[in-house]
Amino acid sequence: MKLLSSVAEVLAFRGSLEGQVGFVPTMGALHEGHLSLVEASRAQTEHTIVSVYVNETQFNNANDLENYPDTLDEDLQQLERHGVTAVFLPDYATIYPDDFTYHLDEKAFSLELCGAHRPGHFTGVLTVVMKLLNIVKPDKAYFGEKDFQQLTLIRGMVDAFFMGVDVVGCPIVREEDGLAMSSRNLNLTPCDRLKAPAFSRIISRQASDQEVVLELEAAGFEVDYVQTLQGRRFAAVVMGNSENPVRLIDNVGVS
């Protein structure tokens, strides 16, 4: 497994590859959710490239960025075991030689749901994903439905800018108790980890969004939003205290 850190290294390595290339962008602290994307790429393409980069421009909260888990050594071991061809490990200067002077804005859906609660979040996401896709130039790129709004916005960006990459959405991978896997779950206290599965359980109920909000609050969650759009209920809650808040998002199909 090749480790690449500069744009020039990626371009040279990419040029040497024959066959289809699949790409899985991540922020590390890998779990089975990320690895399901890697497996999908492995099944559908000849070469899989994974990036591990904690993109600071998508964090609107300095504490959240500082506390973001970092398990790079284990991540690399897992990726090697899963047959990844190369890992791109850039730093800020590599991704943002312009110091984020140029960025990509979406003016509609990015302002709803998570965008309404995390100003600028999707500008950071779309900007970094476009940069990564331009550097890696994959045939297919894999994203999880766990971040369904992100997946929708990335599909929209790829269409709007005629980027010619096949965006593949992958189903949410959950813990046995139903909690959607997330790197941030590592930051839950043992007590909150026990309470967290109620989040997916409650949002899956056949009830109005308002009733779901009340139930979540009664179960001890601080609710950012619960909103059903186009047959899908999207929700975000915060657990923990003000010093160590942990934000969880999830979505479920509702009939």
Does the footprint of ligand AMP cover residue 129 (CB under 6 A)?
no
Q: Which residues, numbered 166-205, are part of the site for ligand AMP (CB under 6 A)?
A: 170, 172-173, 180-183
Q: Between 94 and 185, whose beta carbon lies closer to ligand AMP? A: 185
Does the footprint of ligand AMP cover residue 36 (CB under 6 A)?
yes
- Residue 131 has phi, psi (to 5 degrees) of -60, -45
Q: What is the DSSP letter of 246?
A: E
23, 88, 122, 143: residue in contact with ligand AMP (rule CB under 6 A): 143
Beta bridge partners of 228: 233
Would residue 31 show up in a list of annotated catalytic residues for this protein? no
Does the footprint of ligand AMP cover residue 250 (CB under 6 A)?
no
Nearest-approach distance from CB 58 to ligand AMP, in angstroms: 9
Long-range contacts of 239-246 (CB under 8 A, 24+ apart): 239/188, 239/192, 239/195, 239/196, 240/187, 240/188, 240/189, 240/192, 243/63, 244/67, 244/187, 244/189, 245/63, 245/64, 246/184, 246/185, 246/187, 246/188, 246/192
Catalytic residue among 34, 82, 103, 117: 34
Nearest-approach distance from CB 242 to ligand AMP, in angstroms: 23
Q: How many residues bind ligand AMP (CB under 6 A)?
A: 17
Does the footprint of ligand AMP cover residue 53 (CB under 6 A)?
no
Does the footprint of ligand AMP cover residue 40 (CB under 6 A)?
no
Does the footprint of ligand AMP cover residue 51 (CB under 6 A)?
no
Strands 166-170 and 140-144: parallel
**How far apart are the C-alpha atoms of 225 and 247, rounded to whole Å?**
11
**CA 2: distance to chain centroid?**
23
Nearest-approach distance from CB 127 to ligand AMP, in angstroms: 14
User: Residue 21 half-sphere exposure, CB side, CA atoms within 13 Å?
Assistant: 21
Q: Which residues, numbered 202-241, are part of the site for ligand AMP (CB under 6 A)?
A: none
Rg (CA), the chain: 18
Does the footprint of ligand AMP cover residue 157 (CB under 6 A)?
no
Give me the residues that bind ligand AMP (CB under 6 A), please. Answer: 26-27, 33-34, 36-37, 143-144, 146-147, 170, 172-173, 180-183
Q: Supply the residues annotated as catalytic.
A: 34
